[in-house]
């Protein structure tokens, strides 16, 4: 049951001094209640090389600070998508099924984004409907992450609902022609607990999702929806059915950044899906320079993957990202 004030999962006296401490305590608490959910959030694809490299790559970068610049009055605000003001250059990346982590799930996350003056990207595969999230945070800057599904009518309906609920942008994920091979989910036969549902698909039969006789139920369900035949022309389709700006998420090369720009993207989101899709691809911070060089003068470039500390944010902004997004740290 959802309550107005949920019981904290981490003991109030626990010593938390950095993001690593909070992450470890959070995973331990979640594992004690739902090992499958903990594995789902924590794991990456295959050998999890990219998952680890996302963090390691930031640590390889060195800062070159300038001194005596007068920093008594600091302004961390940034304007994204031409006219959307954020008080901080850190947004919340789309993460599916947040009620696995907390009873209030996406509602709590949206309220946090609203309070921080930031932006939250709601996953299409959320455990709360996009309308309920808007009701929970009426003034929040919300963007909707979505896919171009095999059934285009599903995509069109989600777009219309987002427009009606006053979402401010669409974030098209392009790095999922098929669901990532996530070993932890397969071993755990991961499926959505019976008391939860996918909020944006209330009328969808989730029997196949929860059927976990072999492997991950989520993988089978997602692959039944995703369209592996997508091309850049499908970006034209999406921009043709909405007046909302469309951010293309999953770009990892200068070539694709230029194609996204040519086919109507409003901004580029450098992302490798948190190391959860194709293992062995580069860390996002490693490819950020080439993407910024290709399109940074013409459109915003955002980044997620491996951002754990404020110094990580500084490094990404210094290279040319307009803002960064965090997924697991926010959870």
Closest by Cα among 100, 168, 102 to 130: 168
Residue 40 known to bind ligand: yes
Residue 293 known to bind ligand: no
Residue 94 known to bind ligand: yes
Residue 73 known to bind ligand: no
Residue 167 known to bind ligand: no
Give, as one character, the DSSP assignment of residue 124: T
Cβ–Cβ under 8 Å, residues 307 and 58: yes
Cβ–Cβ under 8 Å, residues 85 and 139: no
Q: How many CB atoms lie within 10 A of CB 285?
A: 27
Catalytic residue among 102, 181, 273, 298: 273
Q: How far apart are CA 277 and CA 232, in angstroms?
A: 19
Active site annotation includes 273: yes
Residue 249 known to bind ligand: yes
Name, in order, each residue with C-beta under 8 angstroms of 139's C-beta and a sequence gap of 6 or more.
114
Residue 116 known to bind ligand: no
Residue 161 known to bind ligand: no
Residue 147 known to bind ligand: yes
Closest by Cα among 211, 256, 219 to 235: 256
Kindly give the pairing relationship between strand 267-270 and strand 300-304.
parallel
CA angle 219-229-256, nearest 5°?
A: 100
Closest by Cα among 300, 306, 309 to 251: 300
- Residue 330 in tokens: 């926010």
Residue 229 known to bind ligand: no
Residue 243 known to bind ligand: no
List, as residue ranges, the binding site for glyoxylate.
40, 147, 182, 273, 276
List, as residue ranges, the binding site.
40, 94-96, 123, 145, 147, 173, 182, 249, 271, 273, 276, 327-328
Give the catalytic positions in this structure.
273
List, as residue ranges, the binding site for FMN.
94-96, 123, 145, 173, 249, 271, 327-328
């Amino acid at each position: 049951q959802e309550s107005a004030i949920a019981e904290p999962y981490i003991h109030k006296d626990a010593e938390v001094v950095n993001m690593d401490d909070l992450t470890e305590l959070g995973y331990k608490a979640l594992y004690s209640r739902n090992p499958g959910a903990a594995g789902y959030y924590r794991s990456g694809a295959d050998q999890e090389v990219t998952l680890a490299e996302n963090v390691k790559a930031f640590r390889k970068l060195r800062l070159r600070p300038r001194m005596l610049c007068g920093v008594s009055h600091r302004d961390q605000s940034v304007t994204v998508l031409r006219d959307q003001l954020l008080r901080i250059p850190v947004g919340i990346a789309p993460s599916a099924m947040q009620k696995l982590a907390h009873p209030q799930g996406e509602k709590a996350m949206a309220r946090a984004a609203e309070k921080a003056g930031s932006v939250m990207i709601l996953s299409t595969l959320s455990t709360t409907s996009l309308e309920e999230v808007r009701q929970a945070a009426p003034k929040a800057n919300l963007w909707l992450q979505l896919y171009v599904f095999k059934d285009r009518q599903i995509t069109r309906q989600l777009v219309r609902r987002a427009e009606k609920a006053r979402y401010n942008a669409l974030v098209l994920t392009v790095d999922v022609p098929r669901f990532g091979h996530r070993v932890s989910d397969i071993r755990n036969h991961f499926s959505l607990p019976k008391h939860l549902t996918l909020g944006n698909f209330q009328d969808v039969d989730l029997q196949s999702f929860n059927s976990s006789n072999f492997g991950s139920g989520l993988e089978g369900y997602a692959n039944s929806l995703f369209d592996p035949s997508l091309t850049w022309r499908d970006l034209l389709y999406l921009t043709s059915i909405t007046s909302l700006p469309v951010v293309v998420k999953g770009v990892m090369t200068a070539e694709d950044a230029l194609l996204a720009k040519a086919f109507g993207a409003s901004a580029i989101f450098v992302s490798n899906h948190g190391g959860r899709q194709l293992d062995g691809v580069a860390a996002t911070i490693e490819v950020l320079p080439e993407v910024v060089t290709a399109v940074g003068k013409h459109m915003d470039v955002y980044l997620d993957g491996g951002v754990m500390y404020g110094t990580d944010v500084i490094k990404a902004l210094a290279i040319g990202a307009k803002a960064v997004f965090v997924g697991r740290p926010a959870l």
